[in-house]
Amino acid sequence: MKQMYPKNGRVILHVDMNSFYASVEMAYDPSLKGKPLAIAGNPEERRGIIVTCSYEARSFGVKTTMPLWEAKKLCPQLIVKTPNFDRYRAASIGMFEILQGYADLVEPVSIDEGYMDITNSHDYGSPLEIAEIIQKRVKEQLDLPCSIGIAPNKFLAKMASDMKKPMGITVLRKRDVPKVLWPLNVEEMHGVGKKTGEKLRNMDVQTIGELAKANDIKLKAVLGINGLRLKEKANGVDNRQVDPESAAEFKSVGNSTTLPRDVVNQQELNKVLASLSLKVSVRLKRKKVLATGLGITIRYKDRKTITRSKKLNNPIQSEEEILTIAKQLFHKHWNGNAVRLLGVTGIEVVEQDHAVKQLNLFNYEKEAKKEPLYKTVDQLREKYGSRIIDHAASLSDTKKKQENIGTSTSFSKDFLQMYKRENEKE
């Protein structure tokens, strides 16, 4: 497959979920499928605004940011639901876990879209085959549609993913830019908003092609350095790397395991959750981060997969806290059928030094007792250095193996290994 990839360039995918909030609601309640559905901030009030809507609603002229009263005038049968962000966050986690199974470099840019650098992913097929596999898995496992752009850089991948919706896959090469992008109105270019578009039109720049040939001095005078960057992109040039660290709020630390056999016994499943919670705790401590939310993944015997998450009042790191919440989520959402895979993920992690614990009547006394110890540790660190006292979990991986604590398998690695095994079976 290496010959399907450029020798010197990169292959970037942009995965964009289609009508994400509405699609998640339809996956949660299949009776909504095929109907005009809108998610609105305040459906009880006329001044409510449409957050997103289904393609069926769009066929009536309903659009994002449209006032609710106007949308209902266009589509009297419009079904309106309030946002359920816990539900959307859980679906987002599931989507990014699938993406991380095919590339080491995955960069979330919002809850429903992200970039992947698959330059070194040729073991899984051609770029088009990988995009098709991802799209199929997101649909089968999460019941959600997505569009994917394939290109040599992030800008072109983003432009490509917008070209076919829903469920489209588009390849956009740099040599295609003059024919495909240049005839488009300048406002259709990613990165050009309404105000920037007005400024460009005042310069007699009407199309992306005219922007690609615009005068550098005039562009910089009107738009500053951003004008020159936009011109580069209009010519298909974008040197930005896919950076997994650029969106810290999407960082997560998770572990999953495919069970040796399908399990329905509750005690056995609780033991698996305990093992996963320990591994997540060890990895959180090693990375010196705390989780501000927790998610679980359940895959059943029939391969149906659900992800559920919970936002936490206080950041957590300990095995006991993780297990308690993981069990609560699991027993709330488990339907009693045989389980094939279980996963636990600490989500939206924050650095240990920046985590602020919200003390309440229940934990104040417990934390207050630890205060003298905290002060002593801080004094020792200040005098002898930050690493004079550390968590056992922060020891080197080599020492960890010697102590038989074992290595952790992240959600992404576990998914990738499972995918390999299933392909081998086929």
Residue 339 shares a structural domain with residue 413: yes
Evaluate whether residue 173 is within a structural domain.
Answer: no
In 164-318, which residue ranges form alpha helices assigned H by DSSP? 177-180, 194-202, 208-212, 216-223, 225-234, 266-287
Whether residue 13 has pLDDT greater than 70: yes
The residues near 122 (Cβ < 8 Å, ≥ 6 apart) are 1, 2, 4, 5
Closest listed residue to residue 405, CA positions, set 415, 390, 417, 392: 392
pLDDT for res 294: 94
| In-domain check, residue 5 | no
Judgement on whether residues 72 and 191 belong to the same structural domain of the protein: no
- Same domain, yes or no: 279 and 321: yes
pLDDT digits (tens, 9 = 90+) for 248-267: 444 678 888 888 889 999 99
Q: Are residues 313 and 421 in the same domain?
A: yes
Q: Which residue, 84, 111, 132, sits at the end of a domain?
A: 84
Q: Is residue 299 part of a domain?
A: yes
- Residue 370's pLDDT is 52
Q: Which of 107, 113, 319, 321 is catalytic?
A: 113
Do 257 and 345 lie in a common domain?
yes
Q: Does some domain include residue 161?
A: no
The number of domains in the chain is: 3
Domain closes at, from 205, 234, 263 = 234
Bridge partners of 306, per DSSP, are 298
- Going by pLDDT thresholds of 50, 70 and 90, the confidence category of residue 363 is very low
**In a shared domain, residues 419 and 274:** yes
Whether residues 410 and 300 fall in one domain: yes
pLDDT at 89: 86
Give the confidence band of 360 by pLDDT, cuts at 50, 70, 90.
very low
- Is 380 a domain residue? no
Mean pLDDT, residues 337-346? 92
Give me the domain span that covers residue 214. Answer: 182-234
φ, ψ dihedrals at 296, nearest 5°: -125, 155
- Provide the CATH number for the domain around residue 322: 3.30.1490.100
Instruction: Quote the crossing angle between the two packed helices 225-234 and 216-223, to the nearest 10°.
Output: 130
User: Rounded to an integer, what is the distance from CA 153 to the centroid of its chain?
Assistant: 19
- pLDDT digit string (tens) for 70-92? 999 999 999 999 988 889 988 99
Average pLDDT rounded to a whole number, residues 194-210: 94
- Reply yes or no on whether 113 is catalytic: yes
Cα–Cα distance between 328 and 407 in angstroms, integer?
Answer: 26
Instruction: List binding-site positions for Mg(2+).
Output: 16, 112
Return the CATH number at 26: 3.40.1170.60
CB 16, CB 112: distance < 8 Å: yes
Q: Is residue 324 part of a domain?
A: yes
